[in-house]
Every structure is written in C-alpha cells, then in structure tokens.
Structure 1
Amino acid sequence: MIFQFLKYVQPGHYFRLKRNSGHFVFPISSELPSIIVENIPQDAAYQSEKATAYDVSWQAIQMGYLGETTTYTHFERVPVADEYRFIRKNFHKAWVIYVLIVRLFSFKNPFKEINGYWKTRNVKRLNYAHNALSHIEYHNFHSDLIARQPLVSVIIPTLNRYPYLKDVLEDLEKQSYTNFEVLVVDQSEPFQKEFYNDFKLKINLNYQEEKALWLARNNAIRNAKGDYILLFDDDSRIASDWIEQHLKSLDFFKADISSGVSISKEGAKLPENYAYFCLSAQLDTGNVLLPKSIFKKIGLFDRQFEKQRMGDGEFGLRSYLADYKNVSNPLAKRLHLKVGSGGLREMGSWDAFRTKKWFSPRPIPSVLYLYRKYFGNATARWVLLKTIPPSVIPYRFKQNAIYMLMGSVFSILISPLILFQVIKSWKLSSKKLKQGPRIGEL
C-alpha cells in the first residue's frame, strides 16, 4: 500500500489492493501532468523523498485526478515519522492516537513510535474538497454517447414500497433522456399488478415470489435489452437530468462506471468529499450506471450476500480489480429516503455491524466473507478491530464522536458477548468461503 499505516485506518479500502494488471490506482507522481502538479503542494517536511512523492500521488487521487498517467506497481517502506505525518494530514487526530496504541501493543519499537508521533504533533489535517480539481469544460461538453441514444435499462427491485415506488416511477417519467426501459422486479405481498397500469414508461414487470435482492437484480440484468444498466432503489428521488448526467460522465471521463452520490435529507448539501468528480472507491447499487458488457466479463452479483450486506461492495471491488474506471458523480445524485419498511429491512438486515439480537453474529457473516476473500484473514482482523467497538452504539449516533467513544468503552465491558458474536460470524463466513462464490454468468 502507498503508506503502510493505512492498513490500520482503512483496512478494507479498494485502493489498498493491487489490480489484476499488477498496478495500483495511484499515479506515478513524476509522470503527472504539470498542470496537475502545480495544484498539489509538495510536502518537503517528509524525511524521505519517496514519502514526498507518494504523498503527491495520494493527493492527486483525493483531489479528483482522473487522467491516464502510469500508476505504481509497488511501494517502498518509508520512515515511521513519515507514516505518522501522512496519517495526521489525512485523518482525525483520534485515529492517530488509535494507530499509536495499536503499534505499541503490536510490540513495535516504542521509541520510534512515540518519537514519530511527537515530531508530527503540529501537522494539520488537510481538506481536499477545498482544493478539488475542477472540470470546467464538463458543463459545455457535447456527449457523442448521448447523441447515439443507447438504450438504458433501469433496474428496480421492490418489496412492499408502492407509495415510494410511485414517486420513483413519476421521476423517471420526467427524465430528459428518454431512451430507456424500466425493469421492475416486484416481491411485494400482496402483489399489485394494476399499480403499474397508468405510468407512461416502458415497464418490464416481473413478479418474484422469493424475497431475494441479488436474485432479483441478476435476473433483471439477464432480461435487460439495454447496452447500459442503471441500478436504482425503490425509495429514491431524482432530478430530471439524472440519466443524462450518468451517461455524460462516462463519455467525458472515458470511464466505465458512473457512481451517483446520495443524500438522505431533502435540500441537504452533498458531503464535501462527494461534491466533486473523483475516482470512486465504492459502488452503490441504488444509483450506478455501467455497460452491460461488464457483467459479461466479470459475472453477476454474488448470491453469497443474499439477505445480508455488502453485495454491491463486493461487485465494486471485483470491477476495481478488473481495471474498470469508476467515477464518483456528484451531478447524478439521488435523495435516498431509507424508509423504515420494505426492502432489506424486511429481510432481517440493515446495518452490517450492528446486531438486533444479543446472540446474532457481529458483523453480518457476508462482511467477513468479503474481507477474508479479497484481503485475507489478517486484514479482516484489522477491520474487526476498527469497526466492532463503535458498532455497539446505534447507527443514528455514528457521526457523534462522544457517543462513538462511549461505544468503544462499553464494548470493553461487554467484551465476552462481543467475542462470542465475532467468533460466530467468523465461523459462518468460513462456511461461505468453503462453499465459494455464487456468481452467475450473463
């Protein structure tokens, strides 16, 4: 990884992995275009020249560089003080303390660790959103892809959400880009076929008795006639240029995947880190456009995630490893209502790390299946260490630092129960790994 300490604070991040091509995602800093380098401050306070170069590469990605510069195939270790400097520049100070504690308890040289921590104590955290690279020419860009008018297949699995689905379909009726079909996989009880009669859309309706999200999406992809697949949720609201912006971003950035962003409150601003175009390290199947050909090359969704969590994360990681360029697209945003009924909530799964019952596995086994499969057991343990203590606090408090700290303390008090939950999850994920992926072909 570009900086070794990232394994503590971002253990399961896509960009930690080398792609199938043998390259990481980070551009070789000396080969970046001069116009890009001019916008990136080179930090001469690093002890190592390598660290300075790696820092420039990291900043380029964080600021939204989307060019085709040659990327690194390997990274050399840098001094411990440089690692602490990097962590301080990029993460909250609480995570710096976390890294120090973990390193000391891992029997690293305490003099080097404390010295590196202390020497960098005055380093300030950066906000890359304030210096994000602009793409002014995007707004006047004439898209040949849109001019060709390819058929887009919008796929919507739904379960007991007719009032919200009505708004979804009405928003689709108002789209500026009109060459699309809508494939609805309805799993509702009771099924209301007549609900779909009055919409002015090309609706391909399928009723599915089994309550299964990934089965629904896989079957819909197989039935789709479009060259492009646009995955959508049944509890979302969108603007009239939603499809158009997805297509335009693919064309402008020569990208393979357009990952739209989400807000959870009407009228809310996009979070700063999602407010500009950049390489995406996630894939949200509630708002993403990609060519159907990608599914032909790397397969459909893995049904090991059925009625659990992170199936979209696994597909996103698979597409990342296969060298597909995934752009985070702030102009293809949606309002994600996250309503309290229907969907995954009725399948018994909502949060990946917070359990509803005392003796349920923590995290949901599919989470460990994902990390163990792609990152290995050692990284999966770092994921557990980072995520399990805060998961004791309810989801709605996850942005509150005080509550999260309380959760970490409370997790120590109930550590025997948490250990039982984690061991149970580990064993269930082992079964999944033994069974292997359930990835269908197109």
Structure 2
Amino acid sequence: MQFSFIKYTQPGWLFNLKPSKDISFSSCYYHPDYLPLQKEINVEIDSSFETLTAKYADLGYQAWNKGSLTWCDAEAKKHIGEMPNPSLKDEYTFIYKYWGKPWALFALLRRIVSFHNPLSELSAYSKASAKKKVNSHTNTIDRSGFHSYQSQLITSAPLIAVIIPTLNRYVYLKDVLEDLEKQDYQNFEVIIVDQSTPFNEEFYKTFNLRLNVIHQKERLLWTARNNAVKATTADYLLFFDDDSRVEKDWITQHLKCLDYFDCDISAGVSLAKVGMKIPANYSYFRWADQFDSGNAMVKRKLFSTIGLFDEQYNKQRMGDGEFGTRAYLNGYRSISNPYAARVHLKVSDGGLREMGSWDGFRPKKWFAAKPIPSVVFLYKKYYPKQLYNSVILLGIMLSNVSYRNKGSNKMLALSIALTVIKSPLLLIQFLRARSIANKMLQKDNGIQLLAERVPESVEV
C-alpha cells in the first residue's frame, strides 16, 4: 500500500509487505500503465483524494477488497514505488473511508503523541472528516463459473493427505473423523499425530478411513505437522484441526479451487461459533491474507522449495502465520476459498489451550511474556520497524478482553482503558517477550526443506 496510515489500522496485514525478489506476486496495487485492473471489476476513482498517488492506491485497495486477483511484477513494483507520497489529508481520508471516525481519531492521537506537528495533523484530520465510511465488500467479482467448472484435477483423483495433530480431544476428534467418513471425494488418507496423555490406540479402530496414526510423545505442534508431511507421498496436503466440523464436499472444494485458479494454496475460511461476526470478505474468492493451518490445502512442492513449518514455534503460536508469510514473499498464490469452510469450535480444553495461552496476545498467566514471544519473533523477522511496533502496540491494546467480546465497541474501549491502567505490568511482559524473541532470531533457522522420499508406514 502507498498509504502509510494503514500502520495504525492494519499493521500486520500481509499485503503491507513487498517481496524483495524480482518475482511476480499477488498484490493490491494499481497503475494504469503498468498494472491495470481486470475489466470485470467495479471500482471508481474517488475524487475526495487530492493526489494521484492516493487515487491509484485507493483503486487498488478497492479492487483487492472486491476480489480482484492482480499480479505485480518487478517493473510495476518499481514504478509504483517511485510515485510521490499521498498528502496528509489523503492519509486521513483513507482511514475515514475504510475504518471510520474512531480509527481516524486513534491515528490522530498516535501522530500527536509521536511529535508530529499538531496543527498540521488537526487541519488534515478536520478536512478529511466529511468522508463517510464505506462498505468495501460490495459488487464483488462474479465467480459464478466456478460452480459449473469441471475440474480435471478432481477427475484425475490425486491422493490427498488430511493432516490432523491432536492433543487430548478424543471427544471432538470423533466428530472430525465422522465428517471425513462422509466426504464425497474418496482418494485420501488421514494422518493423525496424536500427542494425547493417555494415548488411546483403540479409539481409532472403529472408523472407516485410511488412517495413519503417529503417536508423538512430545507435545510439539509444529513438529507434529512436519512429521505428518514427511509421512506421506501425497502431492496435496490438507491441514485440519481436531475441533472442527466440515461438509461432505470439503475436500472437493479445496481441490477445485487449486485447479480453477491455478493456485498453490486453497485457504479455506474458518467460521467460529462464538466471537466476532463472520467477515463479509469470507463470502467470495480473493487473495488470502492469512494462512490457517486448521483449514488449508497446500501443494507439496512448497515444502520442498521454501521449507516445512518453523519448529522454533513449538509450544507457541503463529507457526502457520510464519509459513503463510514465507509463501507470499516467495510468490506463491493463495486463494481465500469461501466454499471450503469449517466451523471452528474453539474448545476451551486440549490443543494449544494446554500450552499456556488463549491466543497470540493473551497468555493464561498474569506475569507471563506478552505477546507470546513467537508473535514478536514473526513480526520482528519479516516486518519493517514501524509496522512491527504498531502490530505489537495495537495487539496489546486490544488484548484485555476475551475473544467472544472483541465484537463489542464498548469492550474494546474498556480494553484500551485497561491498557493504560496496566501499563507497568504490560511493559514488563513485553520486555520479557522481546528478550525471548531476540534469542529466537539469533538461533539457526528452524526451517527444514522437505526431502523427497518414500515414507515408512506407521499405521495403527
């Protein structure tokens, strides 16, 4: 994005990053001479922006939000990067347009406390205040041809490996495996890496599935997923969680997406029973801006070229976010797939819940490192300093309420107020997290390339 103020609203957005290699990559850019838009996309130049740079950047952002699948090469990136910066008023207009007044006010306060000229900031903020917030997810690109598409990939019936790490969730895993028994696509195996205590071998003998169960005594999530990848020769790997439910065409929809868009990752959407409202952009195809290891099909070749999951994330979080970032920076195509949905139950016991955290910014213990050190590690490794600082600050400010309350403006306001009250404790927690993350950054890379080999059978 050419709008720098996005660091106040979406600092951790994947598309804030620009791959350094001279490769083509999925983008949200626009330039009439170097990166035109698809003909079928319905966007308009917004005359409320003063500068041409802002108008072009806004067109690109509009198109991205409506499902445009634009590719940017090195030449286009160079010319777009040479354009002058948007005006200060345009920056505030951008925030007002897509996030509304509360976030524009937040940006203003951040700017003033960081010693920008308050008169210039207030003037630009005031001039932009007439801009009304818009719904950016209307008039999306029509992909109705997807439904009637006859996939040659599905016809060829490649072997799929469904990969499920599990930890003390047999009650929920039973439903997961019963959903897989009902799949209309049949050529798949299920690789389960069971880290439960006690390990229940008898549990698996009642299912009508091609099961390969690996008993892993150490509770290491990312090692578990890597071991599962190594245990199969399948060219398509479908990552799944042990507390999710899917429809009978789940595998079919993932394969169809890979074939229809000629992409490398089909990123299925995850629908939570509790918490925030389902985002509007979950209802149509678009570039995926996150990788969810609980619902994603990945071509095997990625693990041979960019490596497996980083095992430094063991007993922590965001290992899937790191892999998704790495895939994007290496030019691989990932499509958000609305038809390969799962319902994520987010159960309160088992899984990562037993590793001492509720999410990346909420450890279970009061004096534990906050954020989880692996979160600091991820953003510090890949993101510019300004974006990294904003990700951490914003994440901490919004972390004082539970997941189910994050859809409430009142609760978010309470969370920000609690940040001020708890600031001495939060500073200690953050310094502890940063110290651990810095040690992780100094270690040898925890990423191994997948070696092609015939796996040994470990069936139960």
For normalisation by structure 1, the TM-score amounts to 0.95
1:35 pairs with one of 36, 39, 42: 39
2:119 pairs with one of 111, 132, 143: 111
Q: Output the aligned Cα RMSD.
A: 1.8
CA–CA distance in structure 2, aligned partners of residues 60 and 386 of structure 1: 26
Are the aligned partners of 1:279 and 1:326 in contact in 2 as well (CA < 8 Å)? Answer: yes
1:151-230, aligned counterparts within 5 Å?
A: 151-230=159-238
Q: Give 1:141 shift.
A: 0.8
SS of the residue 1:129 aligns to? coil
SS of the residue 2:148 aligns to? coil
Q: Give 1:8 shift.
A: 2.0
Are the aligned partners of 2:7 and 2:386 in contact in 1 as well (CA < 8 Å)? Answer: no
SS of the residue 1:197 aligns to? helix
Are the aligned partners of 2:2 and 2:53 in contact in 1 as well (CA < 8 Å)? Answer: no
Q: Give 1:437 shift.
A: 2.9
Query: 1:28 is aligned with what amino acid?
Result: Y
Are the aligned partners of 2:37 and 2:63 in contact in 1 as well (CA < 8 Å)? Answer: no
SS of the residue 1:184 aligns to? strand
CA–CA distance in structure 2, aligned partners of residues 287 and 394 of structure 1: 23
Cα deviation, 1:349-379, whole Å, max 9, x if unaligned, reads 3311123222111111111000111114443
Aligned match of 1:354: 362
1:58 corresponds to 2:66: no
SS of the residue 1:329 aligns to? strand
1:9-408, aligned counterparts within 5 Å?
A: 9-22=9-22, 25-30=27-32, 31-33=35-37, 35-37=39-41, 39-68=42-71, 71-73=76-78, 74=81, 76-265=84-273, 270-408=278-416
Query: 1:250 is aligned with what amino acid?
Result: L
CA–CA distance in structure 1, aligned partners of residues 351 and 47 of structure 2: 51
SS of the residue 2:58 aligns to? helix
Q: Give 1:68 shift.
A: 4.2
Q: Give 1:159 shift.
A: 0.9
Q: Give 1:20 shift.
A: 3.6
CA–CA distance in structure 1, aligned partners of residues 447 and 332 of structure 2: 18
CA–CA distance in structure 2, aligned partners of residues 67 and 389 of structure 1: 34
Are the aligned partners of 1:129 and 1:276 in contact in 2 as well (CA < 8 Å)? Answer: no
- Shift in CA distance, 425/227, structure 1 to aligned 2, threshold 3 Å: same
Report the number of matched residues: 440
CA–CA distance in structure 2, aligned partners of residues 354 and 205 of structure 1: 32
Are the aligned partners of 2:358 and 2:364 in contact in 1 as well (CA < 8 Å)? Answer: no
SS of the residue 2:120 aligns to? helix
SS of the residue 2:59 aligns to? helix
Q: Give 1:200 shift.
A: 1.3
- Shift in CA distance, 34/245, structure 1 to aligned 2, threshold 3 Å: closer
CA–CA distance in structure 2, aligned partners of residues 249 and 82 of structure 1: 37
SS of the residue 2:39 aligns to? helix
- Shift in CA distance, 102/67, structure 1 to aligned 2, threshold 3 Å: closer
Q: Give 1:269 shift.
A: 8.4
> Which of 349-358 and 292-301 deviates more?
349-358
For normalisation by structure 2, the TM-score amounts to 0.92
Q: Give 1:108 shift.
A: 1.8
Are the aligned partners of 1:372 and 1:379 in contact in 2 as well (CA < 8 Å)? Answer: no
SS of the residue 1:45 aligns to? coil
- Shift in CA distance, 246/51, structure 1 to aligned 2, threshold 3 Å: same
Query: 1:188 is aligned with what amino acid?
Result: S
CA–CA distance in structure 2, aligned partners of residues 188 and 12 of structure 1: 33
5+ long unaligned stretches in structure 1? none
CA–CA distance in structure 1, aligned partners of residues 15 and 178 of structure 2: 38
Cα deviation, 1:167-214, whole Å, max 9, x if unaligned, reads 111111111111111101111111111111121111111101001110
Q: Give 1:128 shift.
A: 2.1
5+ long unaligned stretches in structure 2? 451-460
Query: 2:191 is aligned with what amino acid?
Result: L
Q: Give 1:325 shift.
A: 0.9
- Shift in CA distance, 316/394, structure 1 to aligned 2, threshold 3 Å: same
SS of the residue 1:230 aligns to? strand
Q: Give 1:317 shift.
A: 0.3
- Shift in CA distance, 348/34, structure 1 to aligned 2, threshold 3 Å: closer
Q: Give 1:126 shift.
A: 1.8
> Which of 343-352 and 149-158 deviates more?
343-352
Aligned match of 2:417: 409
CA–CA distance in structure 2, aligned partners of residues 117 and 226 of structure 1: 55
Are the aligned partners of 2:282 and 2:336 in contact in 1 as well (CA < 8 Å)? Answer: yes
Query: 2:12 is aligned with what amino acid?
Result: G
- Shift in CA distance, 313/175, structure 1 to aligned 2, threshold 3 Å: same
Aligned match of 1:431: 439
CA–CA distance in structure 2, aligned partners of residues 72 and 377 of structure 1: 21
Are the aligned partners of 2:239 and 2:293 in contact in 1 as well (CA < 8 Å)? Answer: yes
CA–CA distance in structure 2, aligned partners of residues 48 and 377 of structure 1: 26
- Shift in CA distance, 198/368, structure 1 to aligned 2, threshold 3 Å: same
